[in-house]
Structure formats: structure tokens, C-alpha cells
Structure 1
């Protein structure tokens, strides 16, 4: 059962088991989203540099957990902490819902938290590439909870300095997957950059897989099982 919820800039598509769905659950998830956003919003008021940094950023020692999570992910990926915000929020909300539903999907602007009790297929949208919507990643229950995050230099509103059609990163940490997808996306200018981008991701502890689509080329590393879509 899917439903959408928006709280200010946070716009989530949420899937739960049918028998777990209720109007009360929707209300509780909205409250959870607000509880997730509040410490982040309050921190940004204290430390506005956090929002604007495009490079790893040192946060205050008493920064709330979500802020520290974003900063750590940005540091590992070599990008600013806001590169991890969508993933961090998806993970926070997804983990909360997981206490009430065995199957959970939280999608936040192309960044996904997934917990599943059966095999799932995640299709890859890659803009104008001939490979767009042609391939999917198989996700097994034993891989979850898992973050599946996508960055593109051509699709969507997120800031990217690269020209990849899609960079997809898998990690148990959704915030880390989000940050590494952004960093990987920044590295891809031409098809010649695919190999070094995979090498970059493979060197980051906690990243379990990466898929890149650039024009008619596809490159993959790690625990990624591809299927036709």
C-alpha cells in the first residue's frame, strides 16, 4: 500500500504492508517526519555554513544525530553534508516505520530506504539514455534494510557537477549511499570516467555496490544483481 506525504521540502512516497495501513499510521508518519526535520532545522539556524558547504564539514560536538550522520556521510564521500539530506531523512522515517511494518519502502526524490521480506526489483530511470528503464537491480531480503540512492547530472533538481545519466549506490546507510551517489555523479563527465568512479566507490567503507549509466554504457561494481526491466 503506497501513500504520499509532504512536510515543507520533504516529499516522501511510502509503501507499507497492506494490513498495516491505516489513517492513524499516515498521521503518525507525518508526525515522525516533523520530528526528523526539527533538530535539523534548529541546527541549521545555529550553523548556517552547514547548508552551504560543498565539501566535508565539521559540525558542532553537540550536533543532533541526523546532522552528525549527514556530516559523516559527506566526509566519507568527500562532499558537503547536504548531499546526504534526502537519504538521511528517508532512513530515519523508514527505520521508524519498520517497527510497525515488516515491509517498508520510503522514497525521497530518488533516494530509497528499503526493508523487504521478499525479492524486489528496483528499476533504473536514466533520462535520455537508451538504457533508461531497461535494467533493474534485484534486492533480496537478506540485503535489507538497504539504501538505494541515485544521482544524475541530467535528471532532477539535485546539484550535480557531472554528466552521468544515472549513478546508483547501494549501502546499508542511506545517508552514505546518497552522499556517494552525489560524489560519483560529480566524477562522471565522459564514458572514460566510469572505471575510476567505480574504484572511488569501492574504496569507501560501507558502500556495497554501484551502477553507472552514461549514454549507452553501463558499469557496475559490488553486490549488484542486474535484471532486465
Structure 2
């Protein structure tokens, strides 16, 4: 099996994307989609994400389509599916290929414990915004990503440092959106992408976590972000 960039390049080649074509991609997330577009000789067109799902926003895609658009790439971000129904309808209406990526093939034995752990955290965490799920879809929680309210990146980073000092492993899922990296520098303002990059923090939700470990996450977060609730 190749890398995600290789897999996306293969999909773009199958879609007959050619040099000079445009391909709509999200900026939030890994730069794999944009890298694959460059390798295909095409131009990545970065668009904003949906504030709730962190996936590419179909409304933003619709605004970005031109006569040169050959394809759009929808990444199923952090385990939440992109809105493939709306994107497919857009693709059919404008004769643009829709490529979905990131829905990893995982066993139920891996997914179900993560979903159970996420449900526990959703019910216990206070002071952070837990990940919403679109009705009718399955979130596999490849990452459990919350928003830290406050003054954006400084507060989020301080929150993360304090959690780590209390033994909670956490990380910023996207430090820099692709359109702001040296590789793809674009003079764009993608409001939801920028806000997510400043506010989001991935908390542990591994299938192997014990209830005691989950309680430690809850206690540490609630002591910082809001009224400390019982983790029992």
C-alpha cells in the first residue's frame, strides 16, 4: 500500500486530471491532497471547512468552481465523514469528479471502543466544545478534537501545556493550514480554517484507554475549563 499522497495521485490520474486543471481541496488537515494535485501537474484551489465537521464546506466548494475545475477532494477529517451527498450533487451538476479520502478501513473492534470513549468524554467534559456529529453519519473518532474557548491560539496552547503537565497526552491536530505553508503560500483568508487551527486540540480517545484514564482527562480539562464535575 502506498502513502496517502500516492493513493490520491492515483485517484486523480484515474479521474484524468491533467496539467492546467484546477482541483478543489481543503486547507485544514494534512497537505496530502494538495501535494497529490501538484504531482498531477494541476493547481490546488484551497477552500474553507464546515465549522462543525472540520470537513470541506460544500458551499465554499460551489463558490470556487470554475470552467477549469476538474475535481474536488473531500477528506473525512478526524473520522467524521464529509458531506458526500451535497458534494456529489455539485459534481454531477458541474461535471466535476468527486474524490473522497480518509475513511480508513478499520475493524469494528477498533472503532466501537473509541466511540464509547468519545461518548463518555462528550457527557463529562465541561469548558471545552466537544466534537458535534452530523445526524445520520458515523464518526469513527480517528482523533477526538475539541475546541478550547477563549482567546484563540494563546489560550489553546496554554490549556494544552497544562494538560500535559498533569499527565494528559494531547496535541494540536493542525498547526498550520496548508494554504499558509511555504509550499503552497496563498493570499487567502479562510475564516473557519483559521479559527479551527487556533482553537482545536486533540484529546486521547484510544480504544485501549481505561475508565480511570478517561476520568483523568475529564478531571484535568474540567479543572481548567469550567466547573469541576464528578468523573464517576
The answer, yes or no, to whether TM exceeds 0.5 is no
TM-score by length of 1: 0.27
The structure having more radius of gyration, on CA atoms, is 2
Higher strand share: 1
Q: Which has the higher contact order (CA 8 A, sep 6+)?
A: 2
TM-score by length of 2: 0.27
